[in-house]
Amino acid sequence: MSVSEWILAIEGTPVAAQVAMGLALFSALAHATLGALQKGRHDPWTSRGAIDLAAALLALPVALLLVPAPDRFLWLVLVGAWVIQTGYKWLMAMAYTRGHYTLVYPIVRGTGPLATILFAGIVFGEVFTGGKWQGVMLLSGGIFALALINIRGVRLGRETLIGAVVFAVLTGISVAVYTTYDAYGIRVSPDPFTFLAYFFVGDGVVMPLIALARYRRLAAAGRAPAWHGWGALARRGIAGALAGLGSFGAVMLATRLDKVGEAAALRETSVVFAALIGWLFLGETVSRARALIMIVIALGAIRIEFG
């Protein structure tokens, strides 16, 4: 039995909910890794372009050789997904250009689940019980509290800080839009991996072109971002592509197997993983207040799953 056949076989069973929970948590870890890679030494636009190009190259043989081709309707759905995803990445790059990783990331991830639950309720008719809403409030409230703590330690001008926060909130809303839309896309696809493979192939075209055009424009003006060599960029691109493939693929499969809003909320435990990555690899400190907030976020995720 192939993975696709197994996914289709467990849909609607109690096993599906358990698998969806595991996929959402794996997506959280992968997404935190991807965010850290995009906010590394390279310019965020350049990093994003390299990551998307590598993801497209990795997905291309799967699309051409291992999964059925999309039908006409699914092609239309994929075009919409590519447009929405490009908008999300543009907003994310704009936010990272203005603010630190530890400032931008929690605001994006705190806004995302709240908006996704509302959108999923409208599109899919999902209803959260009181216990699950308590979990959402704990999770998103903890994430926003983390953002407030980070704002106090950020040395930015008022205008730059406001711009970073605004773009971070807009990015969070765009996360909800693409999560809801793409959940619809993977549900209407006869084979879930057809949607995923072709999504990554098409999605990997736009940002590399945007990043290249931007770099050339800044270089012509004498303001080119710092360059660390093709080798370093290629390594970052491949690592980020693997993280992106794992993150997006896992959460999309989770939305096919279980509630969209629940999968989206559990994915936002990525801020806990992001804090660990920042502490272990980026030289950032984790205070007692941050550690307490991480516990609150984890309790919120548990409440969501078992509420």
List, for residues 103-132, the tens digit of each pLDDT value: 787 888 888 888 998 899 899 998 888 888
Of the ranges 79-83, 279-283, 287-291, which one carries the lowest mean pLDDT score? 279-283
CA 237: distance to chain centroid? 16
What is the biggest distance separating any 2 CA atoms in the chain, rounded to whole angstroms? 59
For residue 102, pLDDT over 80 is answered with no
pLDDT score recorded for residue 158: 61
The answer to whether 94 touches 167, Cβ cutoff 8 Å, is: yes
CA–CA separation, 119 vs 114, rounded Å? 9
Q: How far is CA 212 from CA 38, 99, 203, 218, 225, in A?
A: 16, 22, 16, 10, 12
CA dist., res. 300 & res. 307, Å (int): 10
Say which amino acid occupies 15.
V
**What tokens were used for 171?**
């990015």
pLDDT at residue 306 is higher than 80? no
Two structure tokens written together for 99: 């603010």
What's the angle, vertex CA 72, arms to CA 196 and CA 260, rounded to 5? 40
Spatial distance between the Cα atoms of 161 and 171, rounded to a whole number of angstroms: 15
Angle 253-255-258 from CA coordinates, rounded to 5°: 110
> DSSP assignment, residue 228?
-
Mean pLDDT, rounded, for 169-181:
93
Pairwise pLDDT comparison (41 vs 199), residue with the higher score: 199
Distance CA 38, CA 41 (A): 9
Average pLDDT, the chain: 85
Instruction: Calculate mean pLDDT across residues 51-77.
Output: 95
Mean pLDDT over residues 45-54, rounded?
A: 87
Residue 144: the pLDDT is: 86
Share of the chain above pLDDT 90, in %: 32
Amino acid occupying residue 110: G
Q: How much is the average pLDDT of 151-180? A: 81
- In this prediction, residue 186 carries a pLDDT of 95
Does 161 score more than 80 pLDDT? no
Residue 93 has pLDDT above 90, yes or no: no
* Nearest residue to 56 via CA among 191, 194, 203, 182: 203
User: 28 with 268: CB under 8 angstroms?
Assistant: yes
Q: How many helices (H) and strands (E) does the chain have?
A: 12, 0
Average pLDDT estimate for 162-190: 92
Distance, CA of 53 to CA of 50 (rounded, Å):
5
Residue 191 CA to residue 116 CA, distance in Å, equals 24
Are the beta carbons of 136 and 194 closer than 8 angstroms? no
pLDDT of residue 301: 85
Please compute the mean of the pLDDT values over residues 140-169 and round it to a whole number.
77
pLDDT band at 154 (very low <50, low <70, confident <90, very high): low
Supply the DSSP symbol for 153. Answer: T
> Quick one: which of 214, 235, 271 has its CA closest to 40?
235
Alpha-carbon span 102 to 39, nearest angstrom: 10
The domains of the chain are located at 3-306
Query: What is the pLDDT at residue 224?
Result: 65
